[in-house]
């Protein structure tokens, strides 16, 4: 997918089995009038078109183990490296023919603003026209004589779509021009279908949720004024409850996802975390400059009423997923060397952070000096799906380290106490008015919502299909409209190549994966989604389904014909879609 932003792992745990059903029960359905004739739902697939002259993603397939994933236009060069170039008119025209034969109604193109430049630190060295190259397949589709054989919709990603700001108006007009195309996918009597991903990127760019809503309202108004219709804005999320809240704030119309979350049931996420003996110290050197002693500058003992009336002084808990999480002091719990800890009981810790705001306590840090931050940590049960990391940062720039050694580190946390220690040297002076986060302990979203665990294990596709179906139900439970997502797969092992570490882009070498779906398993999952749409007309008024993906070959989700499998997946899908159309 577009900007692949993921974080790191910790422990090991078993898994919770959920077996999918091919039938939609009445309890899971809206009321449908008897003898009502219902058209087959629209079925689309996401395109991610990184198969171009900027060849970073092609390196995923250099190993013979992954040659079976090469698309029909791929090959192995004389040097043994994969060549995957889908950016030609001939390839695009053939892809359109395959999609038509498979019965697909529309493609969803990841749209990239060609005026945006990828930061050099984001991936391997990027050419100046990297985003233009990522859009090349879209331009080839628009120029194809056969484009009317499959409709299209846009996926607008928050991290790159609306920059530079001075060209916002021009960008919005470009979208409206797309909406006016005769083969732009419309739903609900003429509403252009538009997907949004990574809305936090929009919020960061524009400064607030209100500013994003104003921009989306502007886009909606321009489309209506141009006669293109009232756009149907679909918010892609990995957390239905939080997605529903953001949908209301931004004025979107429905929920969906780029791909589904893990097969692990959300109830398995509950966990208690204890943090003890948090200290910040200065390393004092001897006359020869060698580290000698540590002078404690600030510490949190969590023993109830100790040296302050407020044991949480300078400590902030922020939780994206769990509004019920609260801090308390557990004064009687023992840890190696002492007693008393901060206790946080989470129903769902993903996306949570504990900030220890040392700067509020009159702390001065001097450029070039060495400091340590240490703490002890344990959790109530070992959990594959709870990646934890720690870092040293500031409120002004939480993602930027303060200096050498201050960057984020993954923590191997277990049910027994373990001490963690950072040694860092500030890159500038910090005075007592500076608001620091020392340490910042983060419970990332990657494990549950995206990486599917970190046991380095394989699970059956049936569990991924079950996760898809649970996601639809979770979205419906929010009371919002839904376009169900169907994973064609999830297995990014081709990207786990030590010699090309940048392929992972913050993903992990020990992430779990699912077996490749057989053509029948994939087609059955799509059929289940269509049946669910039909059974839930008030939840799914757009009558649409979305598949991840057409060509996410390195991540494990694809329909595009391959050199080894041919059109098997599209053949099975086409059979189901034709049957549903009768």
275 forms bridges with which residues in the sheet? Answer: 342, 377
| From 53-57, 364-368, 389-393, 410-414, the region with the lowest mean pLDDT | 389-393
| 106, 241: one domain | yes
Secondary structure (H, E, C), 393-424: EECCCCCCCCEECCCCEECCCCCCCEEEEEEE
| 209, 75: one domain | yes
| 314, 246: one domain | no
Alpha-helix residue ranges (DSSP H) falling in 313-448: 446
| 79, 225: one domain | yes
Tell me the Cα Rg of the chain. Answer: 26
Is residue 314 packed enough to be buried (19+ CB in 10 Å), middle (13-18) or exposed (0-12)?
buried
| Model pLDDT for residues 92-101, shown as the tens digit of each residue | 999 999 999 9
Secondary structure (H, E, C), 455-513: CCCEECHHHHHHHHHHHHHHHHHCCCEECCEEECCCCCHHHCCHHHHHHCCCCCCCCCE
Peptide bond into 164 cis (omega under 30): yes
| 133, 236: one domain | yes
The span from the CA of 45 to the CA of 108, in Å, is: 6
Residue of 290 and 545 predicted with greater confidence: 545
The span from the CA of 462 to the CA of 263, in Å, is: 9
CATH of the domain at 349: 2.60.120
299 forms bridges with which residues in the sheet? Answer: 279
Residue 44 located in a structural domain: yes
Percent pLDDT > 70 in the chain is: 76
Helix, strand, coil percent values for the chain (each to nearest 5): 30, 25, 45
| 69, 131: one domain | yes
| 493, 409: one domain | no
Is the overall model pTM greater than 0.85, yes or no? no
Q: How many domains, the chain?
A: 2
Residue 12 located in a structural domain: no
| 363, 214: one domain | no
| Model pLDDT for residues 493-507, shown as the tens digit of each residue | 999 877 776 676 656
Which of the listed residues 401, 418, 446 is the one where a domain comes to its end? 446
Residue 372 located in a structural domain: yes
Alpha-carbon dihedral sign for residues 74, 75, 80, 83: negative
Residue 281 located in a structural domain: yes
| 511, 404: one domain | no
Which of the listed residues 446, 473, 495 is the one where a domain comes to its end? 446
Residue 9 located in a structural domain: no
Which of the listed residues 446, 467, 495 is the one where a domain comes to its end? 446
| 81, 147: one domain | yes
Residue 110 located in a structural domain: yes
- Are residues 528 and 38 in contact, defined by beta-carbon separation less than 8 angstroms? no
| 385, 285: one domain | yes
The counts of H helices and E strands in the chain are 11, 28
Residue 120 located in a structural domain: yes
Residue 114 located in a structural domain: yes
| 90, 124: one domain | yes
The residue segments making up the domain with residue 149 are: 38-263+452-581
CATH of the domain at 45: 3.20.20
| Model pLDDT for residues 8-63, shown as the tens digit of each residue | 222 222 222 232 334 444 345 665 444 444 589 999 999 999 999 887 889 999 99
Residue 547 — very low, low, confident or very high, per pLDDT cuts 50/70/90?
Answer: very high
């Amino acid at each position: 997918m577009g900007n692949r932003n993921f974080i790191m792992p910790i422990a090991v745990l078993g898994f919770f089995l959920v077996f999918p059903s091919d039938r939609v029960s009445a309890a899971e359905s809206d009321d449908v009038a008897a003898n009502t004739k219902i058209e087959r739902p629209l079925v689309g697939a996401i395109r991610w078109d990184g198969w171009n002259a900027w060849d970073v993603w092609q390196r995923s397939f250099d190993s013979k183990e992954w040659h079976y994933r090469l698309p029909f236009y791929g090959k192995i060069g004389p040097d043994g490296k994969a060549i995957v170039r889908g950016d030609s008119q001939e390839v695009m025209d053939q892809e359109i023919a395959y999609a038509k034969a498979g019965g697909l109604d529309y493609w969803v193109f990841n749209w990239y603003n060609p005026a945006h430049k990828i930061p050099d630190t984001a991936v391997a060295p990027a050419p100046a026209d990297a985003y233009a190259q990522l859009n090349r397949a879209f331009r080839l589709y628009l120029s194809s004589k056969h484009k009317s054989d499959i409709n299209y919709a846009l996926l607008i990603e928050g991290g790159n779509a609306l920059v530079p700001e001075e060209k916002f108006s021009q960008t919005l007009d470009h979208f409206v021009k797309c909406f006016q195309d005769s083969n732009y996918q419309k739903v609900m009597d003429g509403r252009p279908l538009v997907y949004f991903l990574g809305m936090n990127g929009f919020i960061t760019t524009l400064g607030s949720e209100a500013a994003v809503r104003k921009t989306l309202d502007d886009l909606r108004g321009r489309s209506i004024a141009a006669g293109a219709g009232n756009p149907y804005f679909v918010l892609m999320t990995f957390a239905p409850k939080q997605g529903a809240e953001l949908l209301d704030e931004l004025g979107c119309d429905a929920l969906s996802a780029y791909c589904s979350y893990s097969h692990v049931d959300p109830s398995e996420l509950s966990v208690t975390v204890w943090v003890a003996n948090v200290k910040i110290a200065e390393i004092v050197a001897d006359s020869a400059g060698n580290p000698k002693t540590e002078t404690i500058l600030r510490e949190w003992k969590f023993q109830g009423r100790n040296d302050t009336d407020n044991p949480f002084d300078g400590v902030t808990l922020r939780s994206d997923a769990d509004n019920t999480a609260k801090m308390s002091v557990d004064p009687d719990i023992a840890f190696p060397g002492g007693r008393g800890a901060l206790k946080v009981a989470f129903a769902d810790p993903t996306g949570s952070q504990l900030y220890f705001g040392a700067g509020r306590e009159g702390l001065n840090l001097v450029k070039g000096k060495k400091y340590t931050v240490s703490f002890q940590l344990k959790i109530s049960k070992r959990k594959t799906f709870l990646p934890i990391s720690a870092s040293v940062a500031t409120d002004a720039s939480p993602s930027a380290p303060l200096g050498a050694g201050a960057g984020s580190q993954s923590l191997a946390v277990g049910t027994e106490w373990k001490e963690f220690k950072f040694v860092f040297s500030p890159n500038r002076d910090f005075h007592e008015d500076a608001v620091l986060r020392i340490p910042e302990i983060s419970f990332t979203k990657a494990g549950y919502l995206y990486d599917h665990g970190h046991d380095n294990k394989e699970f059956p596709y049936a569990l991924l299909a079950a996760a898809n179906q649970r996601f639809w139900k979770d979205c419906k439970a929010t009371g919002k409209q839904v376009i169900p997502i169907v994973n064609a797969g999830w297995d990014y092992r081709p990207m786990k190549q030590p010699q090309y570490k940048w392929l992972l882009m913050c993903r992990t070498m020990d992430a779990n994966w699912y077996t490749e779906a057989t053509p029948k398993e994939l087609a059955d999952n799509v059929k289940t989604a269509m049946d669910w749409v039909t059974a839930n007309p008030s939840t799914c008024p757009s009558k649409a389904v979305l598949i991840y993906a057409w060509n996410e070959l390195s991540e494990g989700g694809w329909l595009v014909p391959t050199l080894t499998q041919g059109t098997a997946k599209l053949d099975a899908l086409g059979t189901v879609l034709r049957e549903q159309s009768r």
